[in-house]
Amino acid sequence: MAQKVTKIGVLTSGGDSPGMNAAIRAVVRTGIYHGLEVFGIMRGYQGMIEDDIFRMEGRSVANIIQRGGTILKTARCKEFFEPEGRKKAYENLKRRGIDGLVIIGGDGSFRGAVKFSNEFDIPCIGLAGTIDKDINGTDFTIGFDTAVNTAVEAIDKIRDTMDAHDRIFIIEVMGRDAGYIALHSGIATGAENILVPERKTNMDDIITSLLEKERRKKLVNLIVVAEGDEFGGATEVEKVLKKNLPNAEIRVCILGHIQRGGSPSCIDRLIASRMGYHAVESLMEGRHNVFVGILNNKMHYIPLETAVKNKGRISEEWMKIVKILAS
């Protein structure tokens, strides 16, 4: 029989994403409702090692559901990769009697949690907090919807000036290993081409397509590029296009970190709240090293070690839709 959890810690790790605060709020208030003591761990695993841990009450998470970023801060911690660092972290948890953890982050955070849990027998529950939507076992990740809507709003504004000047615009969005932000925002804004890391980029096809559009006097063209596209991002694409389309006006816009910030959308607040609630329930039910996701609008649980980044999952159907709608 699983040992009953009485004190839990919550932390955010890796890149920040809108909705993390909503998840923290849900963990804290659900824990307190069930009579648990809840501790906030600052700056992820770094704060666990440095003993930057504090008791949280219901009022600790008042007025944060609408805020982007994370009140617990976040950091990437190299020291946690070493056995000495994990031992130091465990001793800090043990001194407070913390016997369960909720980790809000990405697959790197989960790998660290699995290793830590196996060494010291502390149950860990993972919630996917990443704008990239690149984690197995869930339809959406906390922050993805907000990031996509931020990108769509920015691209819509750029389209106005693009149309006024008959320009080709290459817009780079975030997505080092996954192209979901590029795919969703590109389709939503009518992009003629969408370049993603999951698929091989054929610049010859893009040039041929743009030359054909140039002959048809279709001079306004939008290309959305994920930062991790194999061709090298928006700037590299621009170099090739300028060389092959000397008469075209081409501009580049890299949206960058505006996609990480801002008030989370309703969807991100809802899924973060739902996941945070079920994370605490999972600890109380004795689940050990589980990832909490949502598939087909139902809670979905998989082993934490299998909640890794998706690779190459953008389907042919999506790309066919892009091609047909952009013609």
Q: Catalytic residue positions? A: 132
Beta bridge partners of 100: 8
User: Rounded to whole angstroms, how far apart are CA atoms 105 and 14?
Assistant: 6
State the CB neighbour count (10 A cutoff) for residue 103.
29
Q: What H or E segment, with its residue span, contains residue 101?
A: strand 100-105
The residues, any chain, with a CB within 8 Å of residue 294's CB and separated by 6 or more, are: 138, 139, 140, 271, 274, 275, 300
Place of tokens 């890796």: 14
Beta bridge partners of 53: 41
Beta bridge partners of 135: 309
Contact 282, 5 (CB under 8 A): no
The residues, any chain, with a CB within 8 Å of residue 152's CB and separated by 6 or more, are: 185, 188, 189
Phi-psi region of 19 (alpha: psi -120 to 50; beta: other; left: phi over 0): left
Beta bridge partners of 290: 125, 303
Contact 291, 128 (CB under 8 A): yes
